[in-house]
């Protein structure tokens, strides 16, 4: 059976939007439950951590430059560099290292 | 000053504040846009294999804005999957956005109108969520719109370009841009660790758990999106049970 690509794309876009918009429009108050509050407080940090490592090692041509970017990124962020600076530092390290490697 | 003038002035102030938030968002959106461009370029290469035209790739990315989700769908389109399968994989690969959206709902003031919430719904991606949730105090949705206005076209154009010219960009440049996103994540998760010792321990633990899950026999076979949800729910729930957040602690973030 042949499928229409536009129907595929519409299904993908529709479902993705529903997933994103429902909690934002349905949850209108500050949640009072202590466990839920704490859970939602930790969610962003845990998600972003989980997505960063080990994926950063595979984002570059060699895991070594990925690891270097990780080290530089953590150091720069710890020292209080801005979002853009940390990000640019990571890119620069990978670019330089891969020139040498 | 009469009442009408006060109302007008208030409106002006709100507009000015929203405009400022929008431009701050655009500034913070620069690394995201660069990263998106690199990632979506490689996504375009996969879209091409699935038989998408550059225009279709543009539409797909403009209206969906999801890396892993789109990747999975293109993969299935290439396999001539049923519509039901597409719906299911979209649901699974993007379910983490529901968690993020729940967390984001707590960053909004309760009087944020519905249409602003519906617009904000379009913008929930890993990266835009990351910078939005890291804002001090309540989130002005216009901040996120600003970042989205820059990042989303880059994501869509990158996908089309990837379809048109798969191997045009030198590998080294793609590789370097690829870490821009992760650098941004680090800029969000690392600084709070200086003040919050629970996070300082939790984040390295997450790294370890995520690495473990990527090589563990059962977990490594499921998609990275599913793994992310599983780990996020399990670790956040454990942390919430063991170290409930105190009110004042949260107020500082």
B189-233: pLDDT as tens digits? 899 899 999 999 999 999 999 999 989 888 887 777 678 778 888
Tell me whether A70 touches chain B (CB under 8 Å): yes
Tell me whether A71 touches chain B (CB under 8 Å): no
Q: How many domains, in total, are found in chain A?
A: 1
Q: How far apart are the first and last CA of chain A?
A: 49
Query: Burial level of A56, CB count in 10 A (0-12/13-18/19+)?
Result: buried
Ordered by start, the domain boundaries in chain B are 3-189, 191-253
**Percent of the residues in chain B that have a pLDDT greater than 70, as a whole number:** 93
Q: Which residue segment(s) compose the domain that A86 sits in?
A: 33-100
Q: How far is CA B33 from CA B93, B146, B148, B156, in A?
A: 22, 11, 9, 10
**Which residues, at least 6 apart from B205, have a Cβ–Cβ distance to it below 8 Å?**
B235
Is residue A48 one of the residues assigned to a domain? yes
Query: Would residue A72 count as lying in a domain?
Result: yes
Cβ–Cβ < 8 Å for A79, A62: no
- Assigned domain for A43 exists: yes
For B78-128, what is each residue's pLDDT tens digit? Answer: 878 888 888 887 887 787 788 889 989 989 998 889 999 999 999 998 889
Distance, in Å, from the CA atom of A73 to the CA atom of A101, rounded to the nearest integer, reads 20
> Cβ distance B128 to A28 under 8 Å?
no
Q: Spell out the per-residue pLDDT of chain A, length 101, in tens.
A: 678 899 999 999 999 999 999 999 988 887 888 898 888 888 888 888 988 889 899 888 889 999 999 999 999 999 998 777 888 899 899 989 988 87
pLDDT exceeds cutoff 60 at B45: yes
Which helix (H) or strand (E) element contains residue B147?
helix B141-164
Distance from CA of A36 to the nearest CA of B (A): 8
Residue B249 exposure: Cα atoms within 13 Å on the Cβ side: 16
pTM passes above 0.90: no
Residue A58 contacts B, CB cutoff 8 Å = no
DSSP B138: S
Q: Which of B101, B179, B253 sits opposite A69 (nearest CB)?
A: B179
Contact residues on chain B for A86, CB-CB shorter than 8 A: 183-184, 186-187
In a domain, A8, yes or no: no
Decide if A28 and B30 are in contact by the 8 Å CB cutoff.
Answer: no
User: Quick check: B28 and A39 CB within 8 A?
Assistant: no
Cα gap A23→B37, rounded to integer Å: 28
- Please, which residues have CB within 8 angstroms of residue A9's CB and are 6 or more apart in sequence? B56, B59, B60, B63, B64
Q: List the structure tokens of B92.
A: 């699974």
Instruction: Note whether residue A38 is domain-resident.
Output: yes
């Amino acid at each position: 059976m042949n499928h229409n690509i536009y129907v595929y794309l519409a299904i993908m876009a529709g479902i993705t939007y529903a997933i994103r918009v429902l909690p934002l429009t349905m949850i209108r108050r500050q949640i009072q439950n202590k466990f839920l509050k704490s859970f939602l407080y930790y969610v962003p940090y845990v998600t972003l951590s989980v997505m960063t490592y080990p994926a950063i090692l595979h984002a570059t041509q060699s895991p070594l430059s990925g690891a270097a970017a990780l080290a530089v990124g953590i150091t720069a962020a710890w020292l209080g560099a801005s979002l853009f600076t940390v990000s640019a530092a990571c890119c620069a390290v990978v670019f330089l290292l891969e020139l040498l490697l | 000053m009469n009442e009408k003038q006060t109302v007008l002035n208030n409106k002006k102030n709100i507009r000015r504040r929203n405009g400022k938030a929008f431009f701050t968002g655009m500034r913070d959106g620069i690394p995201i846009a660069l990263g998106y461009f690199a990632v979506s370029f490689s996504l375009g290469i996969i879209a091409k294999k699935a038989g998408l035209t550059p225009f279709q790739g543009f539409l797909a990315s403009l209206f969906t804005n999801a890396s892993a989700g789109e990747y999975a769908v293109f993969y299935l389109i290439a396999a001539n999957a049923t519509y039901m399968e597409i719906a299911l994989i979209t649901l699974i690969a993007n379910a983490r956005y529901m968690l993020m959206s729940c967390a984001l709902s707590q960053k909004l003031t309760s009087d944020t109108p519905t249409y602003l919430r519906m617009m904000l719904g379009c913008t929930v991606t890993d990266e835009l969520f990351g910078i939005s949730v890291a804002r001090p105090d309540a989130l002005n949705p216009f901040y996120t719109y600003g970042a989205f206005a820059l990042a989303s076209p880059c994501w869509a154009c990158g996908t089309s370009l990837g379809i048109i010219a798969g191997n045009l960009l030198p590998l080294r440049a793609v590789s370097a841009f690829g870490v821009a996103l992760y650098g941004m994540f680090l800029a969000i998760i690392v600084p709070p660790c200086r003040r919050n010792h629970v996070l300082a321990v939790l984040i390295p633990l997450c790294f370890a758990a995520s690495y473990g899950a990527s090589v563990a026999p059962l977990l490594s076979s499921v998609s990275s999106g599913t793994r992310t949800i599983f780990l996020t729910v399990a670790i956040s729930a454990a942390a919430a049970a063991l170290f409930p957040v105190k009110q004042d602690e949260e107020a500082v973030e």
